[in-house]
């Protein structure tokens, strides 16, 4: 009994500690206010169609090292009338758990036609689109695109953000030459400035030499 009480007490302490934003995590807006934000998991415009657990405010959080790297990119591309737009950055483990729980409710296919028309929900993990542990929870992975600041429109990448299918692979061939050019422009910009791409998702990049390679966080986005 004493061991059980001690274990529960320790677990509560760990969870309480984990909910606090570490000092070396930053709000992106504190580092660069010009980078655009469209935090999809705060609302309903996402593959589940509902707000995701752990997202409470329209703010983007990431390791300070990642935010500074994005600021440097933004300063460079603004000269070419471009801006970064961030869809997601740090993602609490609570949100990842929400994805896992959703995947087990087979009848919930509200957003299937828009986000995963050719893939069954139960195969999203096998295909590498969802994971029980996400690099986003380490704080140095971001989902991002480019915006033409003259028109205010996102560059056409040939598939929507978070579309689960081969169409989102950076090297997918059945898109226009302009769409391919946009994908590889984003890829080059990110690689040249210290980020590693994920080929299955043209929008997904992780900072090289990220501060937390093996630690996953669970504080809320607020």
The set of catalytic residues is 201
Q: What are the backbone dihedrals phi and psi of residue 221, each rounded to the nearest 5 degrees, phi first?
A: -85, 100
Q: Which two tokens stand for residue 109?
A: 């296919």
Q: Quick one: CA torsion of 64, 70, 73, 75, rounded to 10 degrees?
A: -80
Residue 206 has what DSSP assignment?
E
Count of other CB atoms within 10 angstroms of residue 147: 19
Q: Residue by residue, what is the 3-state secondary structure of 141-198?
A: EEEEEEEECCCCEECCCCCCCCCCCHHHCCCCCCCCHHHHHHHHHHHHHHHHCCEEEE
Contact 183, 170 (CB under 8 A): yes
């Amino acid at each position: 009994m004493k061991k059980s009480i001690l274990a529960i007490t320790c677990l509560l302490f760990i969870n309480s500690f984990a909910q606090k934003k570490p000092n070396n995590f930053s709000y992106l807006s504190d580092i660069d206010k010009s980078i655009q934000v469209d935090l999809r998991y705060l609302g309903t415009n996402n593959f589940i169609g509902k707000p995701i657990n752990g997202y409470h405010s329209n703010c983007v959080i990431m390791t300070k090292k990642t935010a500074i790297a994005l600021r440097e990119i933004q300063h460079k591309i603004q000269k070419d009338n471009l801006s970064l737009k961030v869809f997601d950055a740090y993602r609490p483990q609570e949100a990842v758990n929400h994805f896992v729980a959703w995947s087990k409710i087979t009848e919930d296919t509200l957003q299937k036609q828009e986000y995963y028309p050719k893939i069954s929900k139960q195969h999203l993990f096998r295909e590498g689109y969802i994971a029980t542990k996400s690099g986003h929870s380490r704080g140095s992975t971001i989902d991002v695109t480019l915006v033409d600041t003259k028109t205010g429109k996102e560059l056409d990448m040939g598939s929507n953000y978070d579309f689960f299918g081969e169409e989102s692979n950076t090297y997918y061939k059945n898109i226009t030459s302009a769409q391919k050019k946009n994908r590889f422009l984003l890829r080059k910009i990110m690689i040249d400035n210290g980020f590693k791409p994920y080929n299955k998702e043209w929008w997904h990049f992780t900072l090289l030499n990220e501060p937390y390679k093996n630690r996953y966080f669970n504080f809320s986005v607020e």
